[in-house]
Each structure stands twice: as structure tokens, then as C-alpha cells.
Structure 1
């Protein structure tokens, strides 16, 4: 019998392992199962976007683990990836609820980026893209540092900054927008958008983490060209008489932000 032949059991064991592996890969690639897990993630507490580059930029255990999950699963979407990130999403949410992600001081968080930069960059070439990004960084960063702020990190064609003074933060963004007008990029005109929120994020090393960070980033994502979006919490600390203020009412469609968030578009009078 095969069991009594040399290596027979080993061959059957390897065959069984191979079949199990193929079945596991089929399940991992199942679009229906992955969609179901994504629906569960949207219903869980925390940021259902956990796993994108923004949410994995920190130094907490959840971010380290998230980067490991993404590295192991690669760029291929799958059930294993979604389940792993969903568990970490819940873990991060529990830490936030227990105060694990809250700092001790109020910080104004600023996110900026360029509108339609990727489309222009495809045709511009690497050398021109690098030149423009250097000019953009100079235009954006000086107004922040001049007002006592810190450039936390550069995000490709964007920037994350932190400032202590709410009025200074808004002035820095307006000044950055003005300075950007002096950046020339061939036939393309660089235009920025920005999102600002005030909160008490947790500082880890040179980075900031937490719901306040996610909120500012989502505002930046939703701003239009040359638009500056601020939260109601930040607007309450500004002099509205010195601004042109317009209420935005689509905030319920934003993911990973507080339910009671109010959003306003602000500009100079």
C-alpha cells in the first residue's frame, strides 16, 4: 500500500497542504467575501480607511502592525488584508476611546496638497516634477515656520503642519496660497487646497496621531482648488469678522470624523 511505501505519507501530506493552500487563496480572492468584510469594517468603530498611507504614517503599535499587514499582502486586495486591517481599526478605535490617542495640548493641524498634480506630473517628467515640488515646499513651509509652526512631514505633493496659534495657522495657509502663485510650472498653474482642525492629538516622536489628525486630513481631501476648509472647533477660536465664512453641509459623507463635526470654508474678506 502507498502508506507503506517510502515517502508515501509525506507525499499525501504535501498534497493535502497544497489543496488547502489553493482553497485558502481562492477564499482570499473572493470578491463577494471581501465586499462583505468591507461592509463590516464600515460598521465598526474607528476609521474604515485604516490601511491607507495616511493612517499608517505613525509610530504606534497599530500603525506598525498595519504596515506589516500591507507589506505581507502586497498591493493585491484580499480578504486576509481586510480582516487584518479591520482588527487593527477596532484596536485603534478602542485606544482612542480610552484616551490612548489624546495629547495634553491643543494643536492646529494643517493639511495641504496640490489640485490635479498627478495628471500634470505624468506629462512633466521627473526632473520638472522635482523642481516644482522644491519650489512648492519653499512657498508653503516658510509661512508655517515664520509663525512658530512645524512642518510635520511632506506628503508627496502635500504637507502636514502643526501650529499652536489658530489665527497664525489660518494666516500661514493664506500666505502659502499667495506664495504658491509665484511658482511656475510650464503650462500648468499650481493651485492648493487645505484643511485645518484643532484638537489634542497624541505626539509620538516627530509625528501626531489620532482622530484630530484624520479629521484635518479629510477636510483637506474635500477642499476645492484654492479653498480652505476649517472645522467648527477651529472657527470658534478665530475672529469671524475678519473672514469670509461659508458653511458646508456635506460632512455626514466624510468617513473617520466625529459625527458632530461642522465644516466651514473660510477666506479673506
Structure 2
């Protein structure tokens, strides 16, 4: 009499399963060894360095946003953990290449056009040295109460507070300009002993990359440089920003003698003031 798994002298089922498990374990061990191979990791890393796109894609900064490439990168990191490996690098390299293709066709830098505004208090550093910390904090609170409401009332999003400045994002260029003008007007009403609060602002439009609650990219750098370059009460806007306004409702004076670092060649800058149109 023969029982299950022993017909015709066949290998018992239990023995066959043990051999299959052992073979699978050996294959898994070999795959893990290859995945952890320092030599292979160096090869894949060199490949990522020459691929288009961000060769550092996969770090926390590059995965902080909500786009599909960032979500895919987070999934790869979650599956592979923090340990380095060939599988991880190949997966991130594929997403890196995918993201670079999207950016080449204008879709990877950001999903929406954004108006970026940077404001700054003129000569605030000189005031703060003489005023002391308590007075500085009191003045900054009053400044925030003066210039933040004009931004949020016109659907602006305060991205971050920069000590004596703001970074704000808008969808509507005209709303951004009106907000800055209103903020300047309200700031002018403040009375501070020994100092007259005056602001300057820079406005630019582009497709910055959203990273968590912040924005990164050339467009951000341009707006920040414009915000730093203005004179007291001056509003500087790029040519791209000006092109999105109704020319009948704004006065624009070309600022030609500006030396701005970290901005594209040929950037046109204008001092802007709204008109009755």
C-alpha cells in the first residue's frame, strides 16, 4: 500500500517542499547579496549621476511635495527602507528620469503658475540694533498686523515669515499687486519711535516646485532678488509679471541699472505703480 506523495517511488511531498523552500531561501539570499553589493551600488550611482534630472532624488527635500513623482519616490523609499541598495537606486533612478522628462515638457517644475511676492522692511536691521529684542518683537507684531491681512484678504497664501519680511503666493497677478499696495499703505500708518517703517516688494510669476508648504525654484529666487533690490516704498516686478497685468491700469518704469545675482539673463525689471486706468 502506498500513501499520498509516495506513489511509484516518488519523493514524499514534505521532502519536495523542503527542497523548494531551501532553493527559494538560497535565491533570496543571493538577491540580497547582489542588492547590497558595494560595486553594483557604485555602478548604479554613477548611472544616476549621468541621467537627466536630480541625481539626489530620494532625499527628504525632494520627496516633500504632493506630485505623483514624489509620491512614487516615497513609496520606493518606504519599501526599501533607509538602507542603501541596488534596487532602491534603480527605482529612484527611474522616477528621476520620469521627472526630468516631465520638466522638459513644462510639467515638472510645478503644477500651477504662481505669483510670488517677497516683502522686506527697509533699514530694519539698523533699527533693531538700537531698539533691543523686546521692542523689535513688538514692532514686528504690529508690522504683521498691518501687512498680512491685505495679502490674505485677496486670497494670498503666506508661505513663510522671514523676520522682517514675507513670502506670499497668489494665483491672480492683479490681486498680488493690489495686496502689496494696500500693505504699503497700512504700514505707512504705523508710528514707531525713532524709525519710520517703509517696505519694498518684489513680484514675479512662474512655475515653482511645491515642496511641502514651501516653494523652490528659479521663480522663487527671482522674486526674492527683486524684493531685496527695491528702494524704500518701491514695488519691483519682472517683465513676466508685468505682461499679465492690464497695461491701462499700471504704470511701469524700466529699472535698467540693477545687478541681480542668481536670475536668468535678460530679466527685465520694472518699478510698478497702479493707476486709475
Say yes or no: does 1:256 pair with 2:258: no
Q: Could you tell me which of 104, 113, 136 is aligned with 2:111?
A: 104
**Bigger Cα Rg:** 2
Q: Could you tell me which of 192, 198, 214 is aligned with 1:207?
A: 214
Higher relative contact order (CA 8 A, sep 6+): 1
Shift of 1:110: 0.3
Equivalence for 2:195: 188
Q: Unmatched 5+ residue regions in structure 1?
A: 1-57, 62-94
Write the distance in 1 (CA, Å) between the matches of 2:117 and 2:182.
13
Q: Could you tell me which of 151, 156, 162 is aligned with 2:169?
A: 162
Write the distance in 2 (CA, Å) between the matches of 1:127 and 1:244.
40
Write the distance in 1 (CA, Å) between the matches of 2:255 and 2:108.
28
Equivalence for 2:273: 267
Q: Number of residue pairs matched? A: 180
Superposition pairs for residues 18-97 of structure 1, below 5 Å? Answer: 59-60=61-62
Write the distance in 2 (CA, Å) between the matches of 1:137 and 1:100.
35
Write the distance in 1 (CA, Å) between the matches of 2:109 and 2:134.
41
Say yes or no: does 1:138 pair with 2:140: no
Equivalence for 2:70: none
Q: What does the per-residue CA deviation read over 1:119-145, in whole Å, with 9 as the maximum and x for residues that have no partner? A: 011111111110110111111111111
Asked if 2 retains the 8 angstrom alpha-carbon contact of 1:107 and 1:198, the reply is yes
* Stretches (4+) displaced over 6 A: none
Write the distance in 2 (CA, Å) between the matches of 1:153 and 1:176.
16
Q: What does the per-residue CA deviation read over 1:94-119, in whole Å, with 9 as the maximum and x for residues that have no partner? A: x7975796102110000001000000
Shift of 1:185: 1.4
Q: What TM-score do the two structures reach when normalised by structure 2?
A: 0.61
Query: For 2:261, what is the secondary structure of its paired residue?
Result: coil
Query: For 1:259, what is the secondary structure of its paired residue?
Result: coil
Shift of 1:60: 3.6
Query: For 1:102, what is the secondary structure of its paired residue?
Result: coil
Write the distance in 2 (CA, Å) between the matches of 1:138 and 1:258.
34
Measured on the aligned residues, the alpha-carbon RMSD in Å equals 2.3
